[in-house]
Amino acid sequence: MVTQISPSILAADFARLADEVARIPSADWLHVDVMDNHFVPNLTLGLPVVESLSRATDIPLDLHLMITDPDRWAPEYAAAGGASVTFHAEAATAPLRLARTLRGMDTRAGLALNPGTSVEPYADLLADFDMLLIMTVEPGFGGQPFLPQVLPKLRQAKQIAERQGLDIWLQVDGGITPQTIDECADAGANVFVAGSAVFSADDPDAMVAALRARADAAAHARQTAMGVGAAEASSS
């Protein structure tokens, strides 16, 4: 699976969004955090800003909806320009129906899990999703420290996906830096959101490249180790 980097504009200057996005031309996605002050204790942006952003850049929009009632709103965010729309399992009433609606609109459907939400209850739903977002901080704010307690769940999600033969992307979001990205890639993540690490860097695009290089190296080491493990198992 190819490594992808999705810088979060939550850490950018909201008065100059188009200029900020122009500083990260090699980003694979643009991560847009929509918060409603109900699902999380913070308020960010809504449909008009998403519509404007989709006109201002060719980078596909990776929308992360931290809102109540995504069943009502997620399709509107897909229509506003989200190439990928991720909603929270804790907030959705009918996640399967919503995933199918999004896919029917040619939008990638993502399911997000808070740090305290287990992945097992959602295992049977994953075939209907293009991405699973494992939150690595409590959602609501940028700049929080990475929660390593979430890594076992990430490994478990990777195993569930492999067991089911799913081509689902595994995204991590929160506290992703050059210091924490290796362990996430090693645990199976392949899409990495980074806000502060990218936009506080002197050269944000160089940081995107540095994060991708580190994650690629960790993923490669993981695959090599698995290959050696498999060879040892078959020869014993």
Q: Which amino acids are annotated catalytic?
A: 33, 173
Which of Zn ion, ligand DX5, none is residue 57 near (CB under 5 to 8 Å by kind)? none
> Can you tell me which residue has the tokens 């850490």?
11
105: Cα separation from own chain's centroid: 20
Nearest-approach distance from CB 236 to ligand DX5, in angstroms: 43
Stretch that binds Zn ion, among 79-87, 122-130, 152-160, 172-180 (CB under 5 A): 172-180
Candidates 46-54, 71-79, 171-179, 203-211; binding stretch for Zn ion (CB under 5 A) = 171-179
Q: How far, in Å, CA of 36 to CA of 59, rounded?
A: 24
Answer whether 7's CB lies under 8 Å from 195's CB. Answer: yes
Binder of Zn ion out of 32, 64, 175, 184 (CB under 5 A) = 64
**Nearer Cβ to ligand DX5 (8/57):** 8
The residue (of 126 and 137) whose beta carbon lies closer to Zn ion is 137
Write out the residues near ligand DX5 by the rule CB under 6 A: 8, 10-11, 31, 33, 64, 137, 139-144, 173-176, 193-197
Residue number with the shortest CB distance to ligand DX5? 195
- Positive or negative torsion for Cα 174, 177, 181, 182: negative
Pick what 143 binds: ligand DX5, Zn ion, none; C-beta below 5 to 8 Å, kind-dependent: ligand DX5
- Alpha-carbon span 81 to 53, nearest angstrom: 8
Query: From the list Zn ion, ligand DX5, none, which binds 195 (C-beta under 5 to 8 Å, kind-based)?
Result: ligand DX5
Smallest gap from Cβ 33 to Zn ion, in A, equals 4
Rounded to 5 degrees, what are φ and ψ at 231? -65, -40
**Which pairs count as long-range contacts for 165-170, CB under 8 Å and 24+ apart, including other chains?**
166/126, 166/127, 168/126, 168/129, 168/130, 168/131, 168/132, 169/1, 169/4, 169/130, 169/131, 169/132, 170/131, 170/132, 170/134
Strand positions, DSSP E, 114-218: 131-135, 169-173, 191-194
State whether the Cα torsion 67-73-75-78 is positive or negative: negative
Q: Does 173 bind Zn ion (CB under 5 A)?
A: yes
Residue closer to ligand DX5 by CB (options 166, 195) is 195
Q: For residues 52 and 200, give the distance between their C-alpha atoms in angstroms, rounded to a whole number.
A: 24
Question: With binding defined as CB under 5 A, does residue 62 bind Zn ion?
Answer: no
Nearest C-alpha neighbor of 167 from the set 134, 190, 194, 193: 190
Judged by beta carbon, residue 95 or residue 174, the one nearer ligand DX5 is 174
Q: Which is nearer to Zn ion, 36 or 173 (CB)?
A: 173
How near is the Cβ of 199 to ligand DX5 at its closest, in Å? Answer: 8
Binding residues for Zn ion (CB under 5 A): 33, 64, 173
